[in-house]
Chain A
Amino acid sequence: KQEVTQIPAALSVPEGENLVLNCSFTDSAIYNLQWFRQDPGKGLTSLLLIQSSQREQTSGRLNASLDKSSGRSTLYIAASQPGDSATYLCAVAPRNTGANSKLTFGKGITLSVRP
């Protein structure tokens, strides 16, 4: 059974820092991996999706990498801002079904960026 782990559960950094959020998964047979952002009391917003054949994806100050062989993904946030404060979740889709129906989510990392 796929397990997705995000450590630490919470992170506090000063504004301006470049930071890396980690996601690890136990089964490397994945179809894709998504990173989501969740603001308190709100739904999730998809930030980046990396297909299994890709190594990374970029959107603005965000860069996500994928290393299937080691079962790891990282979300890099450049020049962090207070507005980046949120919970960041990763989720993997398994290769056998490939459908979003079987996404396995991590529990998320709650990021606080101090002004």
Chain B
Amino acid sequence: IAGITQAPTSQILAAGRRMTLRCTQDMRHNAMYWYRQDLGLGLRLIHYSNTAGTTGKGEVPDGYSVSRANTDDFPLTLASAVPSQTSVYFCASSESAGGAKNIQYFGAGTRLSVL
């Protein structure tokens, strides 16, 4: 069982370019999340999806978009990358959004540098 897979592992991107980070899970989890992690800061939620077909905005959604066409996939798109989006991006999933079922399992992360 792979769990949760992110691609690419790392990427260097020119400012202004469009980029999609991929995330796939095989645990049949209902909820999925995208976080960014920056040095000295906690994980910050970008977007989330409590179930296929629905998405919601997190703490730092500007400049990012997501879709949840099915249970397994939750891609994150940067429409026009800016240097402040340089970060490590983690995708996570949980059985559901509430209580102990919100134990989140993380992918290995995508290290993105925007120049």
Verify that A and B bind, or say they do not. Answer: no
Chain B residues within CB distance 8 Å of chain A? none
